[in-house]
């Protein structure tokens, strides 16, 4: 499994704009082969922080996802609001 967390700090007020576009991206992504989970969270402690939690059957499934037009459109849209992005791959703690 390939699992990761992406933390976005966005410009003030951008959260609502991103959340408005998210359902379309989420539906298309969740329908992709190899997608186990694709969730977007809004941080309750910081209104300008958002967190993606994704799980894929493997890195190839994620690579396929990154080539999809809906993925490229959603990334291009929310990138304009980024102040900081942190990408972390994760595994269950033993």
CATH code of the domain containing 50: 3.30.70.100
Range of the domain at 10: 2-90
Number of structural domains (the chain) is 1
The pLDDT confidence band at residue 92, using thresholds 50, 70 and 90, is: confident
Chain segment 13-48, per-residue pLDDT in tens: 999 999 999 999 999 999 999 999 999 999 999 999
Average pLDDT over residues 58-85: 96
pLDDT (0 to 100) of residue 26: 96
pLDDT confidence of residue 93: 84
3-state secondary structure the chain: CEEEEEEEEECCCHHHHHHHHHHHHHHHHHCCCCEEEEEEEECCCCCCEEEEEEEECCHHHHHHHHCCHHHHHHHHHHHCCEEEEEEEEECCCC
> What is the pLDDT confidence band of residue 63, given thresholds at 50, 70 and 90?
very high
């Amino acid at each position: 499994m390939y699992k990761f967390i992406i933390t976005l700090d966005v410009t003030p007020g951008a959260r609502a704009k991103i959340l408005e576009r998210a359902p379309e991206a989420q539906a298309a992504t969740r329908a992709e082969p190899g997608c186990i989970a694709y969730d977007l969270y809004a941080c309750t402690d910081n209104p300008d922080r958002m967190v993606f939690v994704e799980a894929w059957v493997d890195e190839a499934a994620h690579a396929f996802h990154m080539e999809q037009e809906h993925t490229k459109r959603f990334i291009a849209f929310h990138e304009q609001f980024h102040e900081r992005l942190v990408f972390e791959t994760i595994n269950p703690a033993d």
